[in-house]
Structures are given as structure tokens and as C-alpha cells.
Amino acid sequence: MILARLWIVIFVTSTTIVKAQNITQCASSCGDIHDISFPFRLKADPLNCGDSRFELDCLKNRTVISLNSKRYYVLEIDYREFLIRAIDPGLEHYKRNCTSFPDYFNTSVPSTSTFARDLTVELLYRKSTSGTIIDVKHHDRNIPIIYVNCLALVNSSRYVETTFCGSQNKTYFSNSSQSHSYIAIGQDMSVSDLAENCSVEMVAWASARGLSGDNTSLSNIQAALAYGFELSWKRTYFCRECEGYCYAEGDGFVCHRCKLNSGIKLRIPCSVHHFFDLIYTRFYGGIVLILIPPFRFLCGFIFLIALVVYKLRRRHLSEYQAIEEFLQIQSNLVPIKYSYSELKKMTNNFKEKLGEGAYGTVFKGKLRSGPFVALKMMHKSMTSGQEFISEVSTIGRIHHVNVVQLVGFCVEGSKRALVYELMPNGSLDKYIFLQEGIVSLSCKQMFEISVGVARGIDYLHRGCDMQILHFDIKPHNILLDENFNPKLSDFGLAKLYPTDDSIVSLTAARGTMGFMAPELFYKNIGGVSYKADVYSYGMLLMEMAGRRKNMNPFADHLSQIYFPTWVYDQFNEGNDIEMQNEDDEDRRMVKKMMIAALWCIQMKPAERPAMSKVVEMLEGEVQLLQMPPRPFTAPCNIAGEVI
């Protein structure tokens, strides 16, 4: 009985394989395209040939493919690479002295659900009074070719002046003597790149492989148009015995309702289904009876390993996908998205290193437009972390004289990078604590820096649609430009909250020890709010005023170990802080900074002033400032022990 069932399975399997082979053996030709086979078929082919979703037509001895109700000529079918190359009928022939027009205006690469979406180009466009302006997000496989009409001459290497063949020129372009026709490659093109008094009149598509040499050469662009565009199809031959359809899932393909002649309906990975087909084709009959038990064990073992690998890869891909999806949603971000190859050119292959921090390494670069920039390549441990998203989402929407400007970013595979404006004088920590070879800043310069930092923090708290809490204000994160103007940087720990939220929720303490507010550790002091940034600023301000660390266990006197407490005691007793080589005006500025700092580092958040009030204190007269309550006796560590 068992033997009879096994022979039935072998017979059914052999019959299935014969049918599958009959399907794949169908081949036909049309014009220059020969051996048209699975998954493609011609309309005149028998019904058992190819896949109906990949049906081609043969018109006037030319192979034609219909994409979204538009007909294109097929130039090549590459079954090894799963690519089909097609061309707009209007672009098939071109002359050296003029540029052909496409028959169709396409805002994206012509395709259908049959072809892989991840290999196509997306073109976003909007209408304006000057015509059609485009934003292009491209894939390396295809590039947009833009036909531009301008009312005046354009002096730009991006635009190549030309004339257009045929009467279609009259349809799209003005015959005025002041009208000028150009053609340009739309790769990396944005709204701001469109020259003044110019409008986009037509968009065609070409494969990047068809473009060689100088991108600004008219002959090269014409050759790219004549080469056509490329599309990819799914490996549907894995599912040639499926009742229904085959679709991608993870790294493989799944047959929906695969059906054998026995009537058994399965839902299995198509690669496994195909693997069974190959085995049965070579070893059917009596040999299959011997191989079935070990083969089933081997397949199960291979499937288990593949499942583990798939899960691991899926987890990493989901982490990268979270960043990609966020950047797509945040379409109003001003920063430019760069490719990794552009970063290498920008930094001369990462030649000049400026420094290294906890999150990444900083290199010096130069934009094509001329300005120098600082490029931070994130460490691999941070490429899928929240720090990168936080940085782009916060600093990407900020425009303030005291906040560093984010020029652009890179998200490519596991590579993450941020491109900032270059701050030639580095970070503030080099100037607070005197170092050999570093020019010391005057008291007035240090005071102006403290006011600028306060204004920057006040802008984060009140100047945006969302309340931005920095959570990591310290000397290392204050950068100085060529004129020593301060700018807040490093928003990796920042959080966005509605402006009406006075108390925010945090799952864990964040910041740098010595600058973190006590409520981040002790919940009974008060809730976490923007007052945490006020505390960090107060600790920063105290170090700037005293030109020393707030905590110095090697101080000459025990009372000076914790500098803020010693300063409070001196002022409370009516004594001035003696500063070296400073006049009366300098001492007044230092006193204002210290009193403002003592207000900012009050233990309870409710007793600390808002940053707008701190700015008023620094800009006002020192005589009007009142001494705050004593901040606390001594700082505590995380465990709650007094230091």
C-alpha cells in the first residue's frame, strides 16, 4: 500500500515536471528580438507559453511592450540579469544637429506592478507660474533627461543648448527669438537648481549604463536617450506551476496556492518548490524512493538555517528601514541628501580628520559651491540608533545664528553621515581651560559667548513649532566660528515635545555627568522639563566664568573642591572673586555670569529661571541681580552618595 502511494507521488511529480518543461520550451521571435521565452510571450503564442502579465506584441516587425497603456519598443531582453530594455518610440532615432522628442511625458520611469518598483525612479513635480519645476529622487539604474525652455540664455554647465527635431518643437516651445531650448540630466536636481525664467517642458528616461563620458556633452546625452531605459521583473519561473501568482517575500519568492495534479494546495517558498523540481527531474523513478527520507531531512535542515539567516537580516534591515521611512515622511527637511560617493569626493577620500567623539569621526570637506564643511561619519554602533534620527529631525528644522547649520546627511546601507557648516575655531572647551598653543579668550569674549549660548537655548525652548530639549549642553558641544560666535551642536540626545508640555517623559537619564540636572536621577525633586537644559547651562556658565572645572578634588582648600558652593559662600559673605589680570568691567561681567549660573543650578527645577530670564540677567546691570538661595551643599553621584 505504501509502495503504491510512493509510485503515485512519483508519477504525479514527473507529469508536473513535463508540463513545466513544455511551458519553458516555448520560444518565438519578432524583428531583432529572438528567443522570446518565459516569462514573456507574444500575443500570437499558444496560451501555455509564458506569463500573461508579461505579454508582448509584434507590430510591423517590432517587439512592443505596453506600460500603463503606453507602447514602447523593446530593444533587449536579458534573462540572466532579469532586465528588459525599452525605448520611447520618439527617441529611437536621433540626429547629431538636433534632439528628438519622446512621445510620452512621464513623471516616473514607465512601469507596471509586474516590474520591480525598487529599480525604478521616482519623479516628484509641481506646477508653478513659470512652468513645471521638478524634484528628482533617482535610482542608479535610470536617470531623467529634462527638456528645458528658457526666456534668456543660461550660463550653467548643467544645461546643454540644443534644437529639437520635427514639428513637435512647436507644441512645447515658444517660437519667440528670446526662447532658448536646453537639455539636462536631472540626476540630483532640485527645485532650487532650475534656472530663472526657465520651465520644464518634457521628461524622458534613460539607463545610467547608456550614459558614458562627459554628462554635459550633447552627443552623450543623445546616445543615452537612444540606449533606452531598463526595468526588472520577478523570477516568476520559480512559480510556473502556481495557481494564482508569485510574489516577493523577504529574500525569496512565494507561490500563492501552488497546486499539484493531486489537488493538494500548498503555500511554499518558490525556491524550495523549484529545488524539488530539479531533483525530481534528474532522479525520478526508483532512485527517488531511496533519496526521499535523507532528502527531506536535508531540506528541513537547510530551511532552518535559511530561516535563522532571514530573521537576522530582517532585523538589521528593519532598523535601517526605520531611518529611511522617517526621512521620507520628513519631506520638508531642508538638508540635502548626499550619496556616499559624494562624501568621498567632498572630503578627498576622508583625508583630513578634525576629531573623534562618542558618536562618530569628523572630517573636513568642501562643497562644490566652495564653502568648507565638517562631515561626521557615524560609528557603526550608531548607524541604526535613535541618535541619528534625533539629530536630523531637530537640527534639520532649526535656523538660528547660535545653532550650527546642518547642510546635509547621508543614508546609504549601513553608512550614516551628517554634514555641518565648518566652525574653524573648534569647541569651547579648548578655550575655557588654558591649553598650550591655544590663544586665551578675553573676559569680554567669554561673556559674549555665554550670552550667545543662552539665546540659542532660549530659541530651542520657545522659538520653534516644537519645544526642543537638548539634554547635552557642555563645552564640547559649543562650537565657535571664525569670529568666535558660539553655536550649539550635537543634537543626538535631543527630544521634541509640544510647546505646551511643561513636564516630559524619559525612559532613562541622558546627558554628561557633571552637567546633568538632578531631577534626571531623583524623581522626588520634580519632573523633567526644559529646566534640565537650564541646569546644564548653569554648570557651563560657572566653568566659563571661573575658567576651571566645577569639581576639582586637587584644589588648594577643601572649600574650593566644589566651585559653585565656594562662589556662593564668597558672594554671600560680601567678598568679590579675585580674578587675575582683570579690570573692574571684567569683574562685573564675571559676577553677572556667576550669579546667573547660581540661579540656573538650583536643586529644584521650579526655582530655576527660564532661559529668556537668564538672557535678561546677563544683559542687565549687576547691581540689580539678587543672590539666589544656596544651591545645595555638595553634588551627589548617581547612587545618591555625597561626594
Residues labelled catalytic: 472
**All residues at 6 or more sequence positions from 140 whose CB lies less than 8 Å from its CB, including other chains:** 208
* Whether 47 contacts 61, CB under 8 Å: no
The residue type of 238 is: F
What are the angstrom distances between the C-alpha of 433 and each of 427, 428, 437, 444, 581? 12, 9, 12, 16, 16
Inter-CA distances, 630 with 283, 426, 568, Å:
89, 35, 7
**Which candidate, 197, 201, 195, places its Cα nearest to that of 171?**
201
Closest residue by Cα to residue 174 from 197, 156, 194: 197
Nearest to 630 by CA among 565, 581, 583: 565
504, β-bridge pairs: 528
Three-class SS state of 627? coil
Q: Can you tell me which residue has the cell 586665551?
A: 440
Q: Is 250 exposed, middle or buried (0-12, 13-18, 19+ CB in 10 A)?
A: middle
Place of cell 532552518: 304
Backbone angles phi, psi at 488, to 5 degrees: -70, 140
Least Cα distance to 207 among 350, 339, 87 occurs for 87
223 phi-psi bin (left φ>0, alpha ψ -120 to 50, beta other): alpha
Angle at 186 between CA 204 and CA 333, to 5 degrees: 130
Q: What is the DSSP string of 38-89?
A: TT-EETTS-TTSS-GGGEEEEETTEEEEEETTEEEEEEEEETTTTEEEEE-G
The grid coordinates of residue 308 equal: 535563522
The neighbouring-strand residues paired with 253 are 248
4 φ, ψ (degrees, to nearest 5): -65, -40
Cell of 173: 516651445
Q: Is 592 annotated as a binding residue?
A: no
Cell reading at 487: 553655536
- 416: which 3 cell numbers? 550614516
Q: Residue 100 in contact with residue 166, Cβ under 8 Å?
A: yes
Longest distance between any two alpha carbons in the chain, whole Å = 110
Pairing type for strands 55-59 and 41-42 reads: parallel
Virtual torsion, Cα 447, 452, 456, 461, nearest 10 deg: 50
- With left for phi above 0 and alpha for psi between -120 and 50, is residue 69 left, alpha or beta? left
Through-space distance between the first and last CA atoms of the chain, rounded to whole angstroms: 85
Sign of CA dihedral 35, 39, 40, 46: positive
Binding-site annotation, residues for ATP:
376
Binding-site annotation, residues:
376
